Chain A
C-alpha cells in the first residue's frame, strides 16, 4: 500500500490540478467573449447578407450565413469588411437588390488575397470559439459527473457536506446538503445552532466562523459525538466570493474512520480553512468536491490495484483493475490492464509454443534425451521410452551412464565409447552412424545398434549446459543393409564370373599361344577383349555407386594427406595420354593443404575422375590446371581444362547416371557415363559440394582472354572448434583435426 507520505503528495497534486482547472474555466469564458466581439463588425448587422460571387462554395456559404446587412448600411459594412484591404479598388463590388436586401457580388478573381485570409481567420476564430465552447461543455459535463458521483458516494457514506449561503441575514439558501442519516440529530443541531447564531448575532459569516473555530479542536473539528471510540466530527469552512463577500458556510462532516485514514488530508484542509481563503466560490466547491472524491478514489483505487496485484501474483492473469475515476488512477489502471493483457498474451503464446514444441518432441520419429552438465537426464520423449524400453519415471533424474552405455558391436575392439566425454571435454558434436556399428546398452540389459547425434545444449551465454541426444534403433535398418550388401556382393560376383571367362579367353587367343589368328580374327578378338575391360569398369563403378548410396562412405581410412601430392598422383596415372596429347598441366596448392586428415582412396576417386575427364576432353596441346584452395569452412579442389567444354543445353544432365554429352561421345567413344555420378555421390556423402562451370575464361601470356573448356570443383568441409582445432563433419569417431 501507499504510505501516508505518498498520499499527502497525491493530495497536493490534486489541489494543484483543481486550481489549474479553475483558471482554465475562467480564461475560457473571457476568451470566448473577446472572440465574439471580434465578429461583431459582421454579425451585429442582422438585416442583410453578403454574397461572394465565386465558385468557391465553402466561402459563399459561410459569408451568406454571416450576415444580412440593411441596404442603407451597405457602404459602411463593406468598408468595415474590407477595411484592411490594400488592393481594395481591384475588388469591384457590384450591388444588386432583392427583397429589400442588397447583394454584394464580388468577382472572386479580383478579390484580394487579404480578404480571403481574413475570411479564413474568421473561420479559424469561430472554430476556436467552437472548440473552446465544446471544451467548456465537456469540462462542465465532467464536473457534473464528478458531482453526481460524489453525491452518490456521500449519500452512501456517513460523510456529510452542507453548503448554504446567506442572502442578507434573513434568508438562507441551501446550495447542497447531505444528511448524515446515522447522526441526523447532532447534525441538525449543529446547523440549527449555526443558523441561530447568524440570526441572533446578526454578524457576518466570517465572524460566525471565528466563533465556531474557537469551539473547534486543534484540527478545526467540532466533535458531534463519540460512539464506540469513533468520533463524528464536523468541519466548517467559510466560503468567500471573488469580491471578498461572504458567500456561505461549508460544513463538512466526517466520521473518524475517514478522518484517521486521511488525517493528513484533513490537516491540509484545515490549513486552507484557517488561512484566508480568497477563492472563487465555485472553485472551492469544486475543489472540495474533487478533493473528497479524490481521497475516496485514492483509497478505492489503491485497494483495487493491490487486489489486482495479489490475484495476479496468485496466477490469475485474467484479473483486470476496474477503476473508473477519470483520473491518474484510471490511467494507471489502464496501463496496468494493458500490461496484464500483454503478459497474458505472451504467456499464452509461450504456452502455445511450449505445447507445439512438446507436440513436436512427442511426435518425433527419433528418441530424444537431454542431459544437464552433471549428466543427469532431464528430458526425454515417448519414442525414447519405446526405444529404451524404460519409462520416463525410470530415467528422468538418473545419471546417464547408470542407465545407458555404449560399446562397439565388434567385442574384440574393446574400446571405451563415451560421447558425453567427447562432447563436454572437447566441445564437439558426436555422430554415430549405422556403419560405426555401435551398440547402445541399457541398464535393463538390452543392446541394439544405434544411430545418434549428440549436440551441446547451449545456455544464454553460449556456454555448454548439457547435451541433446537424438537417436534411433537401427537393428532393422542394419538387417536391410546387410541384405542389400549381400545382394550387391552376389550380383557383383555373378556378373563378373562370365565376364572373366570372356576376358581371359580373349586374352588367350590374343597371346597366340594356341595358334595364329588371321588379321580380321586378331582385330575382332582385340575388340572382344577391350569390350570386356570396359564392361568390367562399368560393373565396378556401378557397384561402388550402389554401395555408397546404400551405406554412405563406409569405413573411412583417415590419414594425414597432402592434397597436392594426391593431385600429382592422379595426374601421373594419365601420364601416357598427357604425353601423347602434349598437355600442359599445372598444380597450385595452398600451403595449408599439406596436412589434412582425409581418406586417400575417396579423395582419389573424385580427383581421378576429374583429371580423367580433363585429359580425355582436352585437345592436343591443351592446358589443365589443378588447384587446392581453402576457405574458413572448406577446402576447394578444382580441375580446369580448356578442352571441348559442356554444351549449354546439356549442362543440367551432367551428373545424371549414364549421361554423356554429345561432344564427349564424339571425342571419346567409350565411357560409362557413371564417373561424375559416382564422384557426386562420394562428395555429397562427405557433405561437400560439387559443381562445374563451362566454358571458363583462359588468359594467355599476351593478356588475351578466351572462353573454353570446363572447370570442375568439389569441396571438403570442416568445422573449426577454435582457432587451432578444426575437424571435418564427416569424421565420426576418429574426430581427428583437419589442421
Chain B
C-alpha cells in the first residue's frame, strides 16, 4: 500500500480548515492544519508534505509572504501550492501564480468537491512526475 499523501492546509478560517480536513480524510489523504503564514512555513520546513493548500489573507504573515519565503529553502521549494482564496482580483491571481502557485481557486466560485478533486489531480500529477 502506497504511503498516504500528506497535505498542509494553511487556513485561518476554522469552518474552511475543518471542511478541507474532513473531505481530505474521506479521500484517504492526511491533512495537517496551520493557522497562519509563520506556522505554515514552520510546519512545511519541519515535515514532509505532498501538497499545500494555501489561503492568502492570513494573520501575521500572509500567503504571498509564504510563497516568497519558501523559495529560499530548496527542500520545500518544489512542494506544489494551490492557492484557495476569496481574493478574486486579476492582480492577486497573477501575483500568486507569478510566485509559483500551481493553481488559484476563488473559494466562493467553487464547490468543496471541485477543490478536493483538484487537490487529488495535483497529487496524482506530482506522483507521476517522481
Contacts and interface: CB of A to CB of B under 8 A. Distances in A.
Interface stretch (A303-311, A501-509, A639-647): A501-509
Given A493-B57, A503-B108, A539-B108, A513 B87 contact: no
Contact of B111 (A496, A507, A555): A507
B113 A536 contact: no
Contact of A496 (B22, B90, B107): B107
A504 B19 contact: yes
Interface string B85-110: 11111101000000000000011110
A244 interface: no
B94 to A, nearest CB: 10
B111 A500 contact: no
A536 B89 CA distance: 15
Interface centre among B90, B112, B113 (most CB of A within 10 A): B112
A500 B88 contact: no
Contact of A508 (B57, B92, B112): B112
A492 interface: yes
A540 interface: yes
B15 interface: yes
A3 interface: no
Interface string B21-42: 0100010000000000000000
A500 B26 CA distance: 20
Given A503-B108, A507-B111, A492 B26 contact: no
Contacts of A511: 113
B87 A497 contact: no
A505 B14 CA distance: 13
Contacts of B89: 485, 488-489, 492
Contact of B108 (A485, A536, A554, A555): A536
A496 B86 contact: yes
A507 B85 CA distance: 18
Contact of B16 (A500, A507, A513, A540): A500
Interface residues of A, number: 23
B117 interface: no
B68 interface: no
Given A493-B57, A497-B13, A513-B26, A504 B111 contact: yes
A271 B13 CA distance: 126
A208 interface: no
B111 A493 contact: no
A638 B88 CA distance: 31
A150 interface: no
Contacts of A197: none
A507 B108 contact: no
Contacts of B15: 501, 504-505
A505 B107 contact: no
Contacts, number: 55
Interface residues of B, number: 21
A543 B86 CA distance: 13
Chain B contact surface mostly? helix
A540 B90 CA distance: 13
Contacts of A489: 87, 89, 92
Given A496-B107, A497-B13, A504 B112 contact: yes
A315 B92 CA distance: 68
A727 B98 CA distance: 32
Contacts of A554: 90
A664 interface: no
A448 B111 CA distance: 44
Given A501-B15, A504-B16, A492 B111 contact: no
Given A507-B113, A508-B19, A511-B113, A499 B87 contact: no
B112 A492 contact: no
A492 B88 contact: yes
Interface string B75-86: 000000000011
Contacts of A500: 16, 86, 107-108
Interface string A476-516: 00000000010011001100110111011101100101000
Contacts of B22: 508
Contacts of B112: 504, 507-508
Contacts of B111: 503-504, 507
Interface string A586-619: 0000000000000000000000000000000000
A344 B6 CA distance: 93
A496 B88 CA distance: 10
Contact of A499 (B26, B85, B108): B108
Contacts of A513: 26
B76 to A, nearest CB: 26
Nearest to B92: A489
A411 to B, nearest CB: 16
Contacts of A540: 88, 109
A513 to B, nearest CB: 7
Contacts of B85: 493
Contacts of B106: 496
A505 B22 CA distance: 12
B87 A492 contact: yes
A496 B107 CA distance: 8
A496 B108 contact: yes
A575 B57 CA distance: 38
A508 B113 CA distance: 9
Nearest to B57: A493
Contacts of B13: 497, 501
Contacts of B107: 496-497, 500
Contacts of A503: 108, 111
A678 to B, nearest CB: 15
Contacts of A555: 90
Interface in A517-563: 536, 539-540, 543, 554-555
A536 B113 CA distance: 17
Interface of B: 13, 15-16, 19, 22, 26, 57, 85-90, 92, 106-109, 111-113
12 contacts: A489-B92, A493-B57, A493-B87, A496-B108, A497-B86, A500-B86, A501-B13, A501-B16, A504-B15, A505-B19, A507-B112, A511-B113
7 tightest Cβ-Cβ pairs between the two chains A and B: A496-B86, A496-B108, A500-B107, A504-B112, A500-B108, A493-B86, A501-B15
Interface of A: 485, 488-489, 492-493, 496-497, 499-501, 503-505, 507-508, 511, 513, 536, 539-540, 543, 554-555
Given A493-B57, A504-B19, A539-B108, 7 more contacts: A485-B89, A489-B89, A492-B87, A497-B107, A501-B13, A504-B16, A540-B109
